[in-house]
Homo-oligomer: A and B are copies of this chain.
Amino acid sequence: MRLTVERGFDQVTVEAIAEAANISRRTFSNYFACKEEALLHGERLYIDAFARHLRERPPEEAAWTALRGAVRALYSSWGRPMDREWAARTRLARDHPSLLARQLANQSRLAQDLEEALEERVGPPGVRHGVLVAVFLAGLRVAVSAWNEQEGCDLLTVVDEVLDEVGAPFDG
């Protein structure tokens, strides 16, 4: 991340990253398939944590409520300074197609995880969990991108506003 911000994404070679981390180029490849994956590793951790939070919600909550609870739990378990890192990553992804692609692939994995987590709960089984999750993540994306364009507003507030608007019909 530091190197990418300093020199720009394209000007950072895997070799440079490896050297900065005091490991060999080969070892880098043992952990990450490419630069993109390394750069998005932090995000991947959040994604996994999100799915975990969802599974820990009380089973009697409705699906939509549980999703919103999980996002709030995740946010409060962050250190606040993560906000800036989040923003930096989002901006990088916006400007570099290969990063954007991999970021979206991560979100697609998250969608699958969340869907499975919802399947495990009690509740109306006829609900189209796939659609529910997709709508929820769509709301999150819109919220994050709106937050990223404005200055100094609270992420959680924006998320709440957007999800109120999107999710009303799915609530309860």
CB-defined contacts of A87 to chain B, threshold 8 Å: none
Nearest Cβ distance between residue A140 and chain B, in whole angstroms? 10
Whether the Cβ atoms of A162 and B131 lie closer than 8 Å is: yes
Nearest Cβ distance between residue A50 and chain B, in whole angstroms? 18
Identity of the chain B residue whose Cβ is nearest the Cβ of A128 in the assembled complex: B165
Q: What is the count of identical protomers in the complex?
A: 2
A134 adjacent to chain B (CB < 8 Å): yes
Q: Is the interface of A mostly helix, strand, loop or mixed?
A: helix
Flag the segment in A17-25, A57-65, A97-105 that touches B: A97-105
Interface size grouping (class) on chain A: 20 to 34
Identity of the chain B residue whose Cβ is nearest the Cβ of A137 in the assembled complex: B138
A window 97-127: CB within 8 A of B = 97, 100-102, 104-105, 107-108
Whether the Cβ atoms of A134 and B130 lie closer than 8 Å is: no
A135 adjacent to chain B (CB < 8 Å): yes
A91 adjacent to chain B (CB < 8 Å): no
CB-defined contacts of A45 to chain B, threshold 8 Å: none
CB-defined contacts of A128 to chain B, threshold 8 Å: 142, 162, 165-166
Known A-B contacts: A104-B107, A131-B166. Give 7 more (CB < 8 A). Answer: A100-B108, A104-B108, A128-B165, A130-B142, A134-B139, A134-B141, A137-B138
